[in-house]
Amino acid sequence: MEEKLFKDFEAVSAKAWKQKIQVDLKGADYNEKLITKTPHGVDIKPFYHQDDVEQQFETTPKETWKVAEQIHFDHGIEKAIEFTKDIAERGAEFIWVVISKTDLDYASYFKSVAHLATDFYIEYQQPHSDLSKTLLEASKNHSAKFEIGIDPLHHFASIGNWWQNLEKDQQMWSTLLQETSVVLQVDARLFQQAGATIPQQLAYTLAQFNEYLNWTHHFSIENLEVKLINAVGSNYFFEIAKLKALPYLLESLLEAYENKVNFSYFSIPTKRNKTLYDYNVNMLRTTTECMSAVLGGSHVVANLAYDEIYHKTNEFGERISRNQLLMLKEESYFDKVENPTDGAYYIDSLVTQFTENAWEVFKQLEQGGGFVQQLFEGKIQQKIKASSEEEITAVEAGEFTLVGTNKYENTQDKMKNELEVSPFLGKSPRKTLIEPIVERRIAEAIEQKRMANE
């Protein structure tokens, strides 16, 4: 017989809690003292109650999540082969290959790793006819699941130009999607890492996907396999709510279409809040970000190395980042429960507000002509810039804390001679069709001043 543990206690309403708080405040203003305003259009209350929740949001069902590791070819093909085999033995369950160059011998790479029982995902950033043939051939020979993701709209938004032009990119996209191993990638990392608010991130992701749905109508494509990639920031509960809100927004959008769509959600920590000075703090940041990714319902989670922003790929950094994920999965049991955040009033309230706010931004964007048109007019770029500058200003004023960078700094920390790659935004003047959306770390200005004084 089921025993109700709290049957002897009367339920307390949200109104009663607030009245008690008002008494304890002794005349102080409730809104001024206890309500925290955020740049995401959501005000944080001191408590959340069942009365505040209009709808409960369940986490996207999944068997479990996979520990992924990225391959970037920083040190050439041979080193990449060696590294891939090594990480497959050391616990990586999913290999995420990033192809950003077309002049490497990828055929030998894929031939050498074809026997691995690990699933492969290819982020295809620079499509090329000969390379496409190589990848498609590799997909046939690989022993495990092998998928290739293509995302021309992300390229257009981040670079400012099409690969060739709109018509040719659409045709190439359509042709490749006819291959069983090629899937639609929707990369939302750009918006987060450029400084968009959470409602903006969700709305622009939705608008990007909506643009692709219009393309599928044009090319008579009915079924879609979609890999949706998110960057996860350090606002723990907000990021969980962001990831939980996304499937509901996508489902609402799909009600207007006849496409059959299967989504997989990939997540990786953002680079936006990572720091050059006191770089070990990055390990703490990525740990909570990976936790948010898992609790938000991600199917595949990759991690960033603590020294990612200033070192090339190296064995130690990658081992630490992989072990962070393995500890979450094998020692913290983050793979044992599918829905640990379901029923949390605070998170459900955030999901509701993010969903409503994002849908309003999305509707305004579509009324303005849609994702591509708004990029041509520069409106998306302007809004992200404004949000980004607000956040950077808060960091420089010390209102947003980056431990080791703008608070608790180690003044003896020297980094000028440690740089293998530049951690700062570079300028590469070129003619573009649109102003690209630019990723930028929020600590850059502070770090450049410190480095100049070393």
Extract the tokens encoding 278: 């006191």
Q: What is the pLDDT of residue 181?
A: 94
- Cα–Cα distance measured from residue 121 to residue 32, given in angstroms and rounded to the nearest whole number: 49
DSSP state of 278: T
Residues with Cβ within 8 Å of residue 25, at least 6 apart in sequence? 33, 34
What residues form DSSP beta bridges with 300? Answer: 66, 266
Q: What pLDDT band is residue 2 in, cutting at 50, 70 and 90?
A: low
Round to whole Å and give the CA distance between 227 and 186. Answer: 6
Domains of the chain: 10-454 (3.20.20.240)
Give residue 324's pLDDT band: very low, low, confident or very high (50, 70, 90). very high
Residue 105, pLDDT score? 95
- Kindly state the tokens that stand for 152: 């021309």
Decide: 178 and 450 in contact? Cβ < 8 Å: no
Strand, helix or coil for residue 3? coil
pLDDT tens column, 114-148: 999 999 999 999 999 999 999 999 999 998 999 99
What pLDDT digit, counting tens, does each position of 352-390 carry? Answer: 999 999 999 999 999 999 999 999 999 999 999 999 999
Mean pLDDT of 26-48: 91
Q: What is the dihedral of CA 155, 161, 164, 168, to 10 degrees?
A: 70
- pTM exceeding the 0.85 threshold for the entire prediction: yes
Q: Which two tokens stand for residue 161?
A: 């130009």
What is the overall mean pLDDT for the chain?
94
> DSSP states of 305-359 as a string?
-TTTTTS---HHHHHHHHHHHHIIIIIS-TTS-S-TTTT-HHHHHHHHHHHHHHH
pLDDT of residue 260 exceeding 80: yes
Which residues have C-beta within 8 Å of that of residue 54, sequence separation ≥ 6?
A: 352
- pLDDT at res. 426: 82
Tell me if 275 sits within 8 A of 404, measured CB to CB: yes
Task: Tell me what percent of the residues of the chain surpass a pLDDT of 90.
Answer: 84
Q: CA-CA distance, 114 to 124, in Å (whole number)?
A: 18
Pairing of strands 182-187, 223-232: parallel
Q: For residue 95, is pLDDT > 60?
A: yes
pLDDT class of 271 with cuts at 50, 70, 90: very high
